[in-house]
Structure 1
Amino acid sequence: MEINHIFFDLDHTLWDFETNSDIAFQTIFKQHNVEVSLEKFLNYYKPINQKYWSLYAKDKVSKEELRVGRLKDTFKKINFTASNTLIDHLSVDYIKVLPDSNLLFDGAHDLLDHLKPNYELHIITNGFNEVQYKKLEKSNLTKYFKSIITSEDVGVKKPNPIIFQHALATAKATSKESIMIGDNWEADIMGAKNAGFDVIYCNFNNEPVSQNIKSVSNLNEIKKYL
């Protein structure tokens, strides 16, 4: 069947999470006079944050535990004494400041302009509502998408098939006419594939891909499939 609906992940796929996050930390550390090497902090923070998001996707930690735990664990690793009050302030301000930087991956607008006349475009994201909508708005992406499905609204996270079924129902689409584009192998690619979608893996780090999956190393390459 012909593809009519394209579902995108947001963070690490269209929205350059790493760069925007680095800028957010630079801003809030300055605001709160946190005197640590940003480079050293981020070096430890990134894998810790990834671990927490993986646990969050499996419902093993709450939103609050993720927001606070990733900071607490990182400061502990770099032997920086941070009070609970400071960690609370940083966790709140990080979420506030994060959408202010709105760098996208190269070619994001160009790709969406190319796709929009021929397909209905949608977002499926595991991010927090209060941040994801702001990211879309401030990076001028909202206009492209007919529906925005967040894990908070649905009550389950990718790769749970329920979020994909909910997305199809919202879009009035079938899985056979739908394709999911994302960077997370487990959440986006396997999750959507198991729900019957076609998939394109945003393999921006050129990881070895074991299965016969459409894979791209930049956004522009998606045009060869759609």
Structure 2
Amino acid sequence: MTQTAPVRAVLFDMDNTLIDWSGFQDGWRELERRHLRKVYDFVRTEGYTPTGSFDDFVLHYTERVVAMWEEARNTLRAPHMGLTLSEVLAEFGCVIPDDEFSACLDAYGWGGVDGVRVFEDVIDVLETLQKRGIRMGIVTNAYQPMWLRDIELQQYGLMPFFGDQKTRISAADVGYLKPHPQIFQHALAQIGTAPEETLFVGDNVVADIAGAQGAGMRAILRVNHPAPNLLSGLILPDAAINSFHE
């Protein structure tokens, strides 16, 4: 009889696992446009003169991001919004030195989004895991660097559970998207537990479940829809839950 190793750490996906985006109404492009407006205005106040209009800037940036994500689906190499923004600004005549570019990302003004909230069941479960001494981390396929997503964690009251910066991991910083094994191996190295001692919780069958299982972890699927695509049984989670309380 095979014994299951005790769980010493739990890694969570972020979006639609911890944070519920179902109430988000504006659409991603409109949200991105508002943040790009802040960047465009910021570089002008810093003495730069963009060579194109704001609408052209948004269009060029958006086309670049869409193309990068299409390529990323095949390569699993993670896009990085900071690098993309820097490149597009340079193409518009605004070459920002690397050591000054963080100010542009500050101006971008990322944070909590209207209509987005923490799932109601999350805080109680995180408190329980914390009391039991279970290590916790986040692995997200975000194209923002993690320090920008940290702003959300602070605003949503999640940072007390994920205080170790090393275990808050964005694909943009690692260079690989889930389900690539590299990002899971990096997460395991940072949290300091063996795969068989580590549980992964996420809402995406391929990125989260297949990826984590491929790295040797047990994986729990958070079911946010009535009939999740389990790829006809080819990818089976170790468990499926509708609520963290399960």
**Structure 2 equivalent of residue 115 of structure 1:** 129
- TM-score, structure 2 normalization: 0.61
Deviating runs (4+, > 3 A) in structure 1? 20-29, 49-64, 95-98
- SS of 2:209's equivalent in the other structure is helix
**Structure 2 equivalent of residue 215 of structure 1:** 240
CA RMSD of aligned residues (A): 3.5
Name the amino acid aligned to 1:105: F
The C-alpha deviation readout for 1:160-205, integer Å capped at 9, x for no partner, is 1011111111111100100100011111110000000000001111
User: Following the alignment from structure 2 to structure 1, what is the Cα–Cα distance between the partners of residues 193 and 78?
Assistant: 32
User: Following the alignment from structure 1 to structure 2, what is the Cα–Cα distance between the partners of residues 27 and 160?
Assistant: 27
Matched, 1:135 2:148: no
**Structure 2 equivalent of residue 192 of structure 1:** 212
Alignment of 1:146-185 (within 5 A): 146=164, 147-185=167-205
Instruction: Give, in angstroms, the shift of residue 20 of structure 1.
Output: 4.0
Bigger radius of gyration: 2
Note the residue ranges of structure 1 that are not aligned, 5 or more in a row.
Answer: 33-48, 69-91, 222-226
Note the residue ranges of structure 2 that are not aligned, 5 or more in a row.
Answer: 38-64, 86-104
Instruction: Give, in angstroms, the shift of residue 28 of structure 1.
Output: 6.7
- In the alignment of these two chains, the number of paired residues is 182
Instruction: Give, in angstroms, the shift of residue 19 of structure 1.
Output: 2.2
Instruction: Give, in angstroms, the shift of residue 22 of structure 1.
Output: 3.5
User: Following the alignment from structure 1 to structure 2, what is the Cα–Cα distance between the partners of residues 159 and 14?
Assistant: 18
- SS of 2:117's equivalent in the other structure is coil
Out of 4-13 and 113-122, give the one that drifted further.
113-122
Instruction: Give, in angstroms, the shift of residue 23 of structure 1.
Output: 8.1
**Structure 2 equivalent of residue 77 of structure 1:** none
**Structure 1 equivalent of residue 140 of structure 2:** 125
User: Following the alignment from structure 2 to structure 1, what is the Cα–Cα distance between the partners of residues 140 and 78?
Assistant: 18
- TM-score, structure 1 normalization: 0.66
- Call closer, same or farther: CA 1:112–1:205 in 2, change over 3 Å: same
Percent identity, please.
26
